[in-house]
Structure 1
Amino acid sequence: MISLTEAYVDSLAPNAGAIKNGRDLARKGSFPLRCVTEDQKLLFGECKGSGKEPYRCSIDFVQEGNPVYRCTCPSRQFPCKHTLGLMYAYVSSSSTFETADIPSDVADKRDKAEKREEKKAAAEKEGAPKAPRKVNKSALVKKITSQLEGLSILEKLVLQLVHHGLGSVDKKTIQLIEEQAKQLGNYYIPGAQAALRELLLLLRNDDEREAIYTSAIEQLIYLQALVKKSKAYLEKRAEDPDSPMETDSALEELLGHAWQLAELQELGRTRSNVELLQLSFLSYADHARGEFVDTGWWIDLADGTIRVTRHMRPFRAAKQMKEEDSFFAVVQTDELFVYPGELNARVRWEQSRFRELEEADYRKVKQLAAASYPDVIKKVKNQIKNPLSDKMPVALVAFQAIERIGDTYILRDAQNKQIPLVTNLLEAPHQPTAILELLQPEELQEQTALIAFRHELDSNRLVAQLMSITTDRRIVRLLY
C-alpha cells in the first residue's frame, strides 16, 4: 500500500526546479487520467504535453522504498516532472484517482524483473555467505607504488614551502603549486590533490594575504600529517597486500578512495533497522574539488548518534544529477551503511521508507541531547587534536538558555557552563543567529541545539556555530 507524503515526493525530485514543475502540473490539473491499482502499489496516468499525444507515466511501488518510474517523455531528469506531478496529485486532497487494473506493459516489466531476481537468487547457494571480493595483488601493489610516488612529490613541495616560509610565496611559487596539483592527478590520490588545491586557493588571495596566513598554516599542517600517515599506511599495505583496509579512521577517504557499499558490507560497517531524523542541511560549493556538496546532519533516534550524509555533484554534471535538500520526515531503513570516521561518521542507504514526525520524536531528540558541556567539549577536543580529523565536529546539546551578551550569543547549560557562538564556521549565506531574534522566548529556554565546533588557532579557543534548535513541537533550522 502506498504511503505518500509531500516530503517523500520532494526527496525523490532531482532538484528544486523539478519539485516546482511537478507541483505546477498537479495544481493545474494536467492529468486527465489518474489511476491507482487496487493494492495501491502502482500509480499511472496521462499528462498533457506539448504534442498531440499525452505522456504516459507510472510509479511502481512493488518494492517498498525503491519505486520504479516510467514515462514516455524525452526528459533526461529522473524522475521527470510528469511522474513527480502524478505523485503530488495523489498526495493532494483535491485529486481523485480511479481504481484500475495494472496496464499490460507494466505487468510485463514486473514479470521480467521478478524473473531476473529469481535467477539471481538461484545462482547463489542458499544460506552460503557471499564470497569475499578478490583482490588483484599485483594491481594493488602497482597502484600503491604510484600513490607513494605522488605523496613523495607532495612531501617535497610542503617541506619547500615550510622551509622558505609563507611570506616568500610569489607568483612563481603559486605557479609551481598549481603545476604540481595538476600532476598529482596521475597518482591515484585525488583527496591529497584536492587538499593541495585548497592551499592554492588560499595563497591566490593577494588582497588578504596576511589574513589567510593562519588558514594556510593549518592547511600545511594537514598536508604534512596526511603525507606522513598515508606513507606509513601504504608502505605497510605494499608489504602485505592481504592486510585489511584502514577503517578506524577516514584515511582511505582522505586519500581519495570511494568506498563501495559492498566493501562496507563486507567490513561489517552496517546497522539494521535504523530511524534517522534530519536536524540540519546545507549545500555549498567545494571549489578545490570542483563540486557542490549537499550535506545533511541526522540524529539516530535509537542512540542519539549524529550522522552525516554527503552528496557530491561535480560542477560539470550538476544539472544532470539529483540535488539533495532539507528533509522533514523520519527516514526508516533496514540497512544503514556507515563509512569509516569519528564523531560524525558519514552514512548512506539504498532503500528507505518515511513517516511523518510525531510529538514523541521531538521529545526523543531532547532526551538524547548531551546535558554536560564539559563532556561534549572533551570529546570534541580529543578529535580535533588529530590534524586529519574533521575540524568541525557536530554535537547535540541541551541548553538552559540562549543569551545575548553584547554583540554575541552564548549557550548556557543547567550548571551555568557556557559555549560562545559565532556565525562564520560553516559556508552559510547568512548569519544563523539573526534568526534567533524572530523566535519566541520559550524557544530559547530549556531546549536542544545542534552545534558545530571549531578551534580558533589565533585565539586558541573553542567556538561553536548554532545549526538548529529542537523544541517540543518543531525543529528550527538556522541553516538554509
Structure 2
Amino acid sequence: MELTESYVDSLAPNSSAIKNAQGLVKKRSFVRLNRSDDDSLLFGECTGSGSSNYECSADFIVPEKPVLRCSCPSRQLPCKHALGLLYALIGGSDFIVAAVPEDIASKREKAVKREEKKEQQAAEGVTDKPRKTNKSALTKKIRTQLEGLDALEKLTLSLVRGGLGTVDKKTVKAIEDHVKQLGNYYLTGAQTELRRLALLLSDTDDREKAYTYAVEQLTLIHAFVKKGRAHLTAKLDDPELAPDSVSTIEEWLGHAWQLAELKQSGLVSEDVELIQLAFMSYDDPARQEYVDQGYWLEQATGDIHRTVHYRPYKAAKHMREEDSFFDVALVKSLYRYPGETNRRVRWEEMASRPLAPLDLERIPAAANRSYADAVKRVKNELKNPLGERNPVMLLHVADVVRDGKGRYAIADESGQHIALDDAPAFGHGTVSLLPHVPAESLRDAALLVMFEHLPDSGRLVAQPLTIIKGADMIRLLY
C-alpha cells in the first residue's frame, strides 16, 4: 500500500501525538532507520528520555491491520516513536534494508498461527457468532426497562400538567435525580434525553427559546416511551427475544450492537470504498461525552454514511481521537447499523489510497437534483421523533442566490430554493465562509448539506458542509 500523511494521521491517538511524532523527524531523533526487503516492516531506533534508545517498528504484513510497536514506557498506542517512523518514510528519509529482528519474526509467526486458526474456525462455521443470549437474564432486564419507562412517563406527564412556566431549580433537581435512577433501569438512551431536557430547562439566558426546544424534547421522550414500551412488550412475546435489526429502537434502549450480530442480520458489505466528505468533533453534555463524527460517501452506492466515536469525559484523555481523513478508505468489511438516513457504520480493518481526481469527478453523480424530493425525504425523517435529527444529503446546486439581507439560498435546475443557514445543534458555523469561496465553485456543483428544523422560527434550513466541483473539493467543515 502507498502510505500517505492522511492515513498516518488516522492511526494517531490524538493531535498531540501527530505533532510530537513529526517533531522527532524534524529533530532527527532517529539514529537508525531500517526496512525489510519486502517493505512490509519498518523498524529502527529513536533517542528518548531513557538511558538507551527506544526500539520501534511498524508492521504491515497485514496491510489493513498494521501493528505499531515500541519499547518506550508510553501508555499511548501507537506512541510518537512508532508514528515517527511512518512520517520519516513519507518525508523521504532513507531506510536501509535489514533482516527482520528475531522478536518481531517470532510475533509474526504467532500472528500467522492465530490467523490460520481463525480461517479454520470460519471453514468449520464456528466463528463470527454472536454471544449466546441468556434468555432468563434478558427477560428480567426487559421487565426492568418497562418499569423504567413507566416511571419516566409519570415524570414527563407531571411536567406537562404543571406547565413549563412553573419549572424552577427544585424541578430541575428532581429531573436530574431521575436521570441517575434511569441507570438502574438499563435505559441509557432515556438518561441522555432526560438530561438534555434538564439542560434546556436550566437555560436562563433565553427562556422563551429554551421552552420551545424543551417542548420538542418532551415530544421526543413521549415518543420514546411509547415506542420503547411497544417494542419491549412485543419482544417478551418472542421466544427468541431477537433484537430489531431494522429500526434504531434497540440503540435508543441502550443495546450495544456486536459486529457478529450485524453480520448475522445481513448488515455487512465487503470491499467498500469510502470518501470522507465532512468531519466534526463536539461536546455533548447530555451524553457527557465528546463526539467525533464523520460523513462518508460510499462510492458504489452513493449513500451517505456516518461514523460516530464517543469519548466519555472520564476516559477521554486515555482514548484515541478520530480526525479528518483525506484519502480513499478501502474497507474490507463495512458493518451497517439499523436505520434509514445516514446509517452509522463501523469497520475493523482499513487500508487507503490517495484520493484521485477521477474519484472526485464521480461524486456529483450521487447528488440529488430535485429539491422537492430532497425536502420531502428530510421532512419524512424529521416526522419520526426517533429518526435522524440532522439529516445530511448531497445536493446538486444550479446556482446560489442572496437576498437583500445577504442571506444565502441554493437553487436547483427547476428554480426551487433551499435556505442556507448554520444548524445550531453542533455549534460549528460555515455560512460565514461562503463569501470566501469563488462564485464559480458554487454553480453547477455538488453540495453536502446538513438539515435542521428550527422550532422557534419553524424554518427548515440547510448548512453547507462541503462543495465538490470537477476535481476539486472544498471542505467547510473538516
Q: How does 1:326-345 map to 2 (within 5 A)?
A: 326-345=324-343
Report what 1:208 is aligned to. Answer: 206
Q: Does 1:7 align with 2:6?
A: yes
Q: How does 1:212-227 map to 2 (within 5 A)?
A: 212-227=210-225
- What is the one-letter code of the residue matched to 1:153? A
Q: CA deviation at 1:472?
A: 1.5
- What is the one-letter code of the residue matched to 2:65? N
- What is the one-letter code of the residue matched to 2:70? C
Equivalent residues of 1:425, 1:465 under 8 A apart: no
Q: Does 1:115 align with 2:113?
A: yes
Report what 2:63 is aligned to. Answer: 64
Cα distance in 1 for partners of 2:84, 2:116 equals: 33
Report what 1:163 is aligned to. Answer: 161
Query: CA offsets per residue over residues 10-54 of structure 1, 9 Å max, x none?
Result: 000000111111111112211110011011100000001112311
**Distance change >3 Å, CA 443–CA 426, structure 1 → 2:** farther
Report what 1:154 is aligned to. Answer: 152
Cα distance in 1 for partners of 2:399, 2:17 equals: 40
Cα distance in 2 for partners of 1:195, 1:428 equals: 19
Cα distance in 2 for partners of 1:120, 1:332 equals: 22
TM-score (norm 1): 0.96
Cα distance in 1 for partners of 2:126, 2:117 equals: 16
Query: CA offsets per residue over residues 419-449 of structure 1, 9 Å max, x none?
Result: 00111334234x3112111122211211110
Q: How does 1:9-28 map to 2 (within 5 A)?
A: 9-28=8-27
Q: Does 1:242 align with 2:228?
A: no
Cα distance in 2 for partners of 1:454, 1:342 equals: 17
Secondary structure of the equivalent of 2:398? strand
Equivalent residues of 2:213, 2:456 under 8 A apart: no
- What is the one-letter code of the residue matched to 1:210? E
Report what 1:459 is aligned to. Answer: 457
Q: CA deviation at 1:123?
A: 4.9
Q: CA deviation at 1:124?
A: 5.5
- What is the one-letter code of the residue matched to 1:42? L
Gapped regions of structure 2 (runs ≥ 5): none
Q: CA deviation at 1:133?
A: 4.2
Report what 2:260 is aligned to. Answer: 262
Query: CA offsets per residue over residues 168-188 of structure 1, 9 Å max, x none?
Result: 111221111111111111111
Q: How does 1:331-480 map to 2 (within 5 A)?
A: 331-405=329-403, 406-429=405-428, 431-480=429-478
Equivalent residues of 1:140, 1:241 under 8 A apart: no
Equivalent residues of 1:174, 1:203 under 8 A apart: yes
Identity of aligned residues (%): 49
Equivalent residues of 1:403, 1:410 under 8 A apart: yes
Cα distance in 2 for partners of 1:148, 1:127 equals: 37
Q: CA deviation at 1:205?
A: 1.1
Cα distance in 2 for partners of 1:447, 1:426 equals: 26
Equivalent residues of 1:397, 1:450 under 8 A apart: yes
Equivalent residues of 1:448, 1:469 under 8 A apart: yes
- What is the one-letter code of the residue matched to 1:340? P
Secondary structure of the equivalent of 1:157? helix
Report what 1:44 is aligned to. Answer: 43
Q: Which of 97, 103, 106 is the matching residue for 2:104?
A: 106
- What is the one-letter code of the residue matched to 1:167? G
Query: CA offsets per residue over residues 374-423 of structure 1, 9 Å max, x none?
Result: 11111111111111111211100010122222231101111111000111
Report what 1:79 is aligned to. Answer: 78
Equivalent residues of 1:339, 1:345 under 8 A apart: yes
Q: Which of 260, 280, 300 is the matching residue for 2:298?
A: 300
Cα distance in 2 for partners of 1:27, 1:220 equals: 55
Q: Which moved more, 1:95-104 or 1:238-247?
A: 238-247
Equivalent residues of 1:141, 1:241 under 8 A apart: no
Secondary structure of the equivalent of 1:161? helix
Cα distance in 2 for partners of 1:299, 1:6 equals: 21
Q: CA deviation at 1:262?
A: 1.2
Report what 1:185 is aligned to. Answer: 183
Cα distance in 2 for partners of 1:463, 1:241 equals: 45
**Distance change >3 Å, CA 113–CA 365, structure 1 → 2:** same
- What is the one-letter code of the residue matched to 1:420? A
Secondary structure of the equivalent of 1:26? helix
Q: CA deviation at 1:338?
A: 0.2
Gapped regions of structure 1 (runs ≥ 5): none
Secondary structure of the equivalent of 1:56? strand
Secondary structure of the equivalent of 1:62? coil
Equivalent residues of 1:9, 1:87 under 8 A apart: yes
Query: CA offsets per residue over residues 337-372 of structure 1, 9 Å max, x none?
Result: 000111110001110110111111111111111111
Secondary structure of the equivalent of 1:212? helix
Secondary structure of the equivalent of 2:462? strand
Q: Which moved more, 1:186-195 or 1:244-253?
A: 244-253
Report what 2:284 is aligned to. Answer: 286
- Residue correspondences, number: 477
**Distance change >3 Å, CA 298–CA 145, structure 1 → 2:** same
Cα distance in 2 for partners of 1:415, 1:391 equals: 27
Q: CA deviation at 1:479?
A: 1.8
Query: CA offsets per residue over residues 196-253 of structure 1, 9 Å max, x none?
Result: 0000001111232222111100000000000000011101112224142112211111
Query: CA offsets per residue over residues 82-140 of structure 1, 9 Å max, x none?
Result: 000110001112x1100111000100111122223334444565367865642211111
Equivalent residues of 1:42, 1:61 under 8 A apart: yes
Provide the aligned C-alpha RMSD in A: 1.5
Equivalent residues of 2:220, 2:386 under 8 A apart: yes
